[in-house]
Amino acid sequence: MSWQVYVLRCGDGTLYTGIARDAGARLRRHEAGKGARYTRGRGPLVMVLLEDAASQGDALRREAAIRRLGRAGKEALISAATAAPAKPKAKRRPRAKGGS
């Protein structure tokens, strides 16, 4: 089973970053008050970012990188991840040379 890196938005607007093998189950533990001390009493919690990692080491490195981004960087990362993919531009046919 692979690892996951997740970011939660707490009810007070703060962001919490963590790793888990099953981020959904981990979110339920946070909501039940059994997760990290930081998230206790800060509900409701919403998972705003979820990334897969190949190993626990990769997940830990990615978690550390996200934490170093600061709030503005995290918000930009979340926005980029949740934005709809851009529509491909239609190919334009070249104009015929010459003319009348």
* Domain-located, residue 90: no
**CATH number (domain holding residue 54):** 3.40.1440.10
Q: What is the CA radius of gyration of the chain?
A: 20
* Domain-located, residue 22: yes
Number of domains in the chain: 1
- Over residues 72-89, the pLDDT tens digits come to 999 999 999 988 666 666
Q: What average pLDDT is seen over the chain?
A: 90
* Domain-located, residue 25: yes
Q: The sheet that has 15-20: what strands, in order across it? A: 15-20, 3-9, 46-53
Enclosing domain of residue 57: 3-81
* Domain-located, residue 89: no
Which amino acid, residue 2?
A: S
Give the model's confidence band at 93: pLDDT under 50 very low, under 70 low, under 90 confident, else very high. Answer: low
Q: Which residue in 47, 33, 43, 68 sits closest to 4, CA to CA?
A: 47
Q: What whole-number distance in Å separates Cα of residue 46 and Cα of residue 7? A: 8
* Domain-located, residue 96: no
